[in-house]
Structure 1
C-alpha cells in the first residue's frame, strides 16, 4: 500500500489528527450544546475497532500527533482499550504524541491508566473557578469533581493545560484569578474565542463574544508580556508572563486567521473527515471502513479528501452577524 505522506494543495504536510470518539458528554456547556441534545444513534458512531483502523491509517500516512476529543471522550464505553491500542504506535515511534481534550470530570478515574498508555499531557476545559458559575455554564457539572480530576492528572505525571473560553460578562472578572491559579498549580493556560458552531437556542453567541485582543490588553495591565515563537502543532499564539514565567496561549479564529500553517484535520465520531473546522466540506470515511476489511479504500478516500483541503476558513463577527456560521455542534466535530 502506498504510504507517501499527506500533503495538501498548499504544500502543508498533514501531521496532526483530531478524532472525536463520541458526541455525548456529561456536561451541557451553554456555548457548546443545547440543554436537551439529540445525540446520534450508536450504530452511526464508529466502533472502537473502526477508530483504530482509521487512526492507524492516518498514522501510516505521516500523522505524528493524535488528539482524542468528544463530546467528552472519557464517557465512551471501554475507551481505555482504544488508548491502549494506540499506544503501540507510540512504542513503534510512528506516533510522537497521543493526547486528549477533556472536561476533567472522569480524570480522577482514568488519569493513571492514561499515563500508562503513553499520554503525557491533557487539555482540560475550565471556564471558571467559582462553583456556582461552573454549575451555570456547564448546566450539569460540579467544579469539585473537575478539580479533583486535575489533581489526579498531575499526580499521575500528566502535564495539564487549561483551556478557557473567553465569555463576555461571564468570566471577565476571573481573568487575573484564573491566571494566578494556573501559575500556582504549574498549568499552562490558553484562552479561546467563542466560535459560531451550531444552534444554541436562547444563547446569543455575539453577546458572549469577548475578543482576545482585549484579554491580552488586560493581562498587560498586570504583567509584562513577552511574545513567544512557540508552536505545539495547533493554532495557538503564545506569550510569557515575565513575573510568573508561565505560558499563555490565545486561539483566535475570529480576530486572527491562523490558517496559513494549518497541519491538521478532524474526524467526527461518525467518520466524517473535515479538512477545515470552518468549512462544511467533508469526506465520508465510515463507508470505506465498513465496505471492506482491507484499508485500500480508506486510504484512497483520505488522500482524495486532503486534495480538497482549503486554504482557510470564513469565521467573521463583523457587522454584528455571524458570517461563516457552522450548522453542526462542536460536540459533533470534536473540540
Structure 2
C-alpha cells in the first residue's frame, strides 16, 4: 500500500499519454502550441502498461487517462483496451476534449470505461472558438450525445474565466435538468505555458455558487464522496448534478489520494509541485523491479501536505497543463 507522510493512502494515478492537443485553449497553452515532445521522449505504450501494472501491485486502484488530448496519439484505443485488462485495476476513466472521441464511444463502453470527463467551457459557438481557437463545437456535442446514449457516466468540466464564459454558467447548469450529467465548474489555474494572465482569481468557488443560486435558489449541498475534488450540489427535479472544483483555492487538498505521470514519465505528487522522479529513465536504465518499487514508494511518501506547500517549492508553476497531464 502506498502511503504518504501525512498518512494518506495513495490509490489514484492520473496517466498522461501525450502532451499534444488538437485545441489551443488560451488558458492551457499559447496560440502557436508548445514545443512538443519527440517520440523518444514520450513513454511508449509498453512502458505505460508496465509501470501501471507495477503501481497496481503497489496499491493503485484507479487510473485516469489524460493528455494533452489522448485521442490524438496513434493506436490509443488498443493501448486503452490492454490497460483495462490489467490485474488489480478497479476503475478506468479518461479525460478528453471530445473532438475526436465520438466514433470510439461504443468501444469505450465495451472495454469498461467507468466515466469520461468531457472538457466543455461553453455551449456558444463563438465563445467556444474564442477560448479554444478552433471551430469544432459540433464534434464535442456529438461526443456528449454518444456518451449519454451508451450509458457512460459523464462529467462536464468547465473552467470559469472572467470576461470569457461566465455567461455560460447557467446554460451549462441547465444541462443537468434533463440529462444525467455532472457539470463541474473549475476555478481558473495558472497552467497556461507562460505567465499567468490574471493577477487575482475573479471567480472563486463561492462566487460561482452565488451565480448559480441566482437562478436556482433551491440548490442544495449533497454529501461529497471520499477524496472528492468538487463540492457537489443537487437542484430539485434535475436528473444531473452540479459540482464546483476549488482548483486554485485548493481547499480539498487535505484528502488528496492522487499522483500523476507526465507524458515523459515524470512522477508528480501534486499538480502545483515539481516532478519528483523520472520513472521512464529508471525503466530504460534497466532498474530491477524491487528497486523501482522502492524509488516510487520513497518519492510518493514525501507527497506535500497540500497545493500551497507544493507551489512554495515549485520552479515550474506556469507549465502548460498539457505537459503536466490534465
TM-score by length of 2: 0.92
Which of 110, 116, 119 is 1:116 aligned to? 110
Change (3 A) 1:139 1:284: same
1:29-44 → structure 2 map (5 Å cutoff)? 29-36=25-32, 37-44=34-41
* CA positional deviation for 1:232: 6.2
Q: Write out per-residue CA displacement over residues 23-51 of structure 1, whole angstroms, 9 at most, x where no aligned residue.
A: 00000101011111211112100000000
User: 1:270 — aligned with what?
Assistant: 264
**Structure 1 pair 209/75, CA: closer, same or farther in 2 (3 Å)?**
farther
1:178 to 2:172 alignment? yes
| Structure 2 residue 4 is matched with structure 1 residue 8 | yes
| Unpaired segments ≥5 residues, structure 2 | none
**What is the count of residue pairs matched by the alignment?**
322
1:53 paired to 2:82: no
In the TM superposition, residue 246 of structure 1 has moved relative to its aligned partner by 3.0
CA distance in 2 between counterparts of 1:176 and 1:313 reads 29
CA–CA distance in 2 between the matches of 1:298 and 1:207? 41
Name the CA shift for 1:193/1:96 in 2 (closer, same or farther; >3 Å): same
Whether the aligned pair in 1 keeps the contact of 2:109 and 2:150 (CA below 8 Å) is: yes
Would the alpha carbon gap of residues 43 and 311 (structure 1) be closer, same or farther in structure 2, given more than 3 Å must change? same
CA-to-aligned-CA distance 1:153-177 (integer Å, 9 cap, x gap): 2222211110000111121112111
Give the direction of change, closer, same or farther, for the CA distance of 1:65–1:122 in structure 2 (3 Å limit).
Answer: same
SS at match of 2:83: helix
* Aligned residues: CA RMSD: 2.2
**Preserved contact between residue 191 and residue 318 of structure 2 (Cα < 8 Å):** yes
Instruction: Give the 3-state SS of the residue equivalent to 2:23 in structure 1.
Output: coil
Q: 1:246 to 1:186 in 2, by over 3 A?
A: closer
Correspondence for 2:241 among 241, 247, 259: 247
Is the 8 Å Cα contact of residues 165 and 193 (structure 1) preserved in structure 2? yes
Contact 1:225 1:239 in 2 (8 A): yes
Report the CA distance between 1:296 and its aligned residue.
Answer: 2.8
Q: Which residue of 1 aligns with 2:69?
A: 72
Q: Distance in 2 between matches of 1:176 and 1:315?
A: 34
Confirm or deny that 1:290 pairs with 2:284.
Answer: yes
* 1:22 match: 18
- Kept after mapping to 2: 8 A contact 1:190/1:250: yes
Aligned pairs (5 A) from 1:204-243 = 204-206=197-199, 209-223=202-216, 224-231=218-225, 233-243=227-237
3-state SS in 1 of match to 2:127? helix
CA distance in 1: counterparts of 2:308 and 2:249, whole angstroms: 11
Distance in structure 2 (CA, Å) of the matches to 1:125 and 1:288: 33
Q: 1:265 to 1:153 in 2, by over 3 A?
A: same
TM-score (norm 1): 0.90
Q: Distance in 2 between matches of 1:50 and 1:325?
A: 25
CA contact (8 A) 2:177 2:237 kept: no
Aligned counterpart for 1:132 among listed residues 126, 144, 148: 126
Q: 1:110 to 1:295 in 2, by over 3 A?
A: farther
Residues 60-116 of structure 1: CA distance to partner in whole angstroms, max 9, x if unpaired? 111111000000011111111111111213xx5x22110101001112121111111
Segments of 5+ residues of structure 1 without an aligned counterpart are 317-322
